[in-house]
Amino acid sequence: MQISINANRCQPSPMRKFHPLAVAAEARGLKIHKLNIGQPDIATPPEFYEAIRSHQEKTLAYAPSPGIPELIEAIQKYFGRINVSLEPNDILITTGGSEALLFTCLSILDPGTEVIVPEPFYPNYSTFIHAAGGVIRALPTSGKEGYNFANRERIEQLITSNTRAILFTNPGNPTGLVLNKEEMRMLADVAREHNIFIIADEVYREFCYTASTEILSMAQFDDIDDNLIIIDSVSKRFSACGARVGCVVTKNKDLQKALLKFCQSRLSVATLDQVGAAALYNTDPGFFAESKAEYLNRRDAVMRKLEKMPGVSFTAPMGAFYMMVSLPVDDTDKFQRWLLTEFEYEGETLMFAPGAPFYETPGKGTNEIRMAYVYYKEEMERAMDVLAVALERYNNR
């Protein structure tokens, strides 16, 4: 019995591959600061639980394949508030942004076709692209340039007749890069001129720490309707990762039809979670301001600590809640393994995501890590203190 070529091309998730070692460390009584996964500690708005608790349905039935109308309508209104006008058919509810990405890749990629992805990138992109037989064409960036990838010349150099799409997270995971309006416009122009899809993963849309208070989306351009695919989710926006509710938004009719086939094949998205998600989209937008202020506070606390660590460097993230950090170690994968199997400081250790799997280019990222600043300030500061001790001990072991 053989395993498929595409499955063999996929890698275990760098955010999750250390899970068994973490379970073992916890069994030994260690407290682990888990900065490896974008799992915020901000409370899910109570409206989510209330809507689910008050949902009366004797038989928990399949929802419609494209999603429940209340949720689609709530998302329409949400986009309306940021000046994006959508028809109900433009929105397909998915099991998290993850399913939106997988179905998108299955809908637009043939074996050997290419997706341009700025690196470092969210490593699960690689699994979704590989699942469809596609290939990543990495668009290299550097910390020195703030990981900015909005360079027309460099992008156009990568476009071939096999290019189907450019895929990016904005605000960026793992870099925290936030594109400005001109850069977004340039990307739209490139996609239109070269007849390729833009897959804009905007699940962190509200988490933006630049001076501008305007909420930007690629969907605000009205001349790329056939090119644009927006990936969205309630996970980060409403601190409801466990709900697994996202959506894919596109006005491309052929793509809508293709996506709908995959949506129909898996019947529906979990009913109760959709009911809860509809309530989330109708919560007071004040929630965003509060959580944004909270993340900014955490980010600053982390940066202040990192600045004092010898040999550590990073670019200040401008959005989302991740950052890439260069550490003075030989290999961050080895360092992570050591942290979970050999290290402890006052009964504590920490997890991050080693950097290499965020890159397609071999050899890059081996001394970098991605950290998620998803816990309250004091907890993040404590985690940074543990990191400082760990770095010292690791290099003197």
Q: Which of residues 136-195 bind a copy of itself (CB under 8 A)?
A: 164, 195
Q: Please, what is the Cα angle at 245 between 243 and 249, to 5 degrees? A: 165
Point out which residues pair with 349 in neighbouring strands. 32
Q: Looking at beta carbons only, is 129 or 329 nearer to a copy of itself?
A: 129
The answer to the question of residue 11 lying near a copy of itself (CB under 8 A) is yes
The answer to the question of residue 2 lying near a copy of itself (CB under 8 A) is yes
How far does Cα 40 stand from its chain's mean position? 13
Q: How far is CA 170 from CA 67, 189, 288, in A?
A: 25, 17, 17
Q: Smallest distance, Å, CB 389 to a copy of itself?
A: 27
Report 305-364 residues binding a copy of itself (CB under 8 A). Answer: none
Region binding a copy of itself by CB under 8 A among candidate stretches 58-66, 317-325, 336-344, 389-397: 58-66
Identify the CA nearest to 360 among candidates 121, 176, 156: 121
Q: Is the peptide bond before 120 cis (omega within 30 degrees of 0)?
A: yes
Report whether 325 contacts 371 (CB < 8 A): yes
The answer to the question of residue 4 lying near a copy of itself (CB under 8 A) is yes
Identify the CA nearest to 17 among candidates 117, 123, 144, 141: 123
Among 79, 121, 149, 262, binds a copy of itself (CB under 8 A): 262
The answer to the question of residue 1 lying near a copy of itself (CB under 8 A) is yes
7 by Cβ neighbours in 10 Å (0-12 / 13-18 / 19+) ranks as: exposed
In angstroms, rounded to a whole number, what is the distance separating the alpha carbons of residues 172 and 208? Answer: 10
Q: Smallest distance, Å, CB 13 to a copy of itself?
A: 4
How far does Cα 284 stand from its chain's mean position? 24
Q: Looking at beta carbons only, is 188 or 390 nearer to a copy of itself?
A: 188
Among 27, 29, 59, 362, binds a copy of itself (CB under 8 A): 59
Region binding a copy of itself by CB under 8 A among candidate stretches 14-22, 74-82, 146-154, 181-189: 14-22
The answer to the question of residue 87 lying near a copy of itself (CB under 8 A) is no
Q: Smallest distance, Å, CB 4 to a copy of itself?
A: 5
Q: Smallest distance, Å, CB 374 to a copy of itself?
A: 10
**φ, ψ at 90 (rounded to 5°):** -75, -10
Among 127, 170, 173, 175, binds a copy of itself (CB under 8 A): 127
Q: Smallest distance, Å, CB 113 to a copy of itself?
A: 8
Identify the CA nearest to 301 among candidates 379, 205, 194: 379
Q: How far is CA 380 from CA 33, 142, 239, 310, 371, in A?
A: 8, 26, 18, 18, 10
Q: Smallest distance, Å, CB 122 to a copy of itself?
A: 10
Contacts of 369 (CB under 8 A, 6+ apart): 324, 325, 327, 332, 336, 352, 353, 354, 355
The answer to the question of residue 108 lying near a copy of itself (CB under 8 A) is yes
Among 36, 107, 217, 332, binds a copy of itself (CB under 8 A): 107
Q: Smallest distance, Å, CB 150 to a copy of itself?
A: 21
Report 212-241 residues binding a copy of itself (CB under 8 A). Answer: 226-227, 239-241
Judged by CB under 8 A, how many residues of this single chain contact a copy of itself? 82
Enter the DSSP assignment of 63: P
Residue 311: how many other CB atoms lie within 10 Å: 11
The answer to the question of residue 24 lying near a copy of itself (CB under 8 A) is no
Q: Smallest distance, Å, CB 384 to a copy of itself?
A: 22
Among 27, 29, 61, 286, binds a copy of itself (CB under 8 A): 61
Query: Which region holds residue 94: left if phi is over 0, alpha if psi is between -120 and 50, else beta?
Result: beta
Q: Looking at beta carbons only, is 28 or 261 nearer to a copy of itself?
A: 261
Q: Looking at beta carbons only, is 208 or 240 nearer to a copy of itself?
A: 240
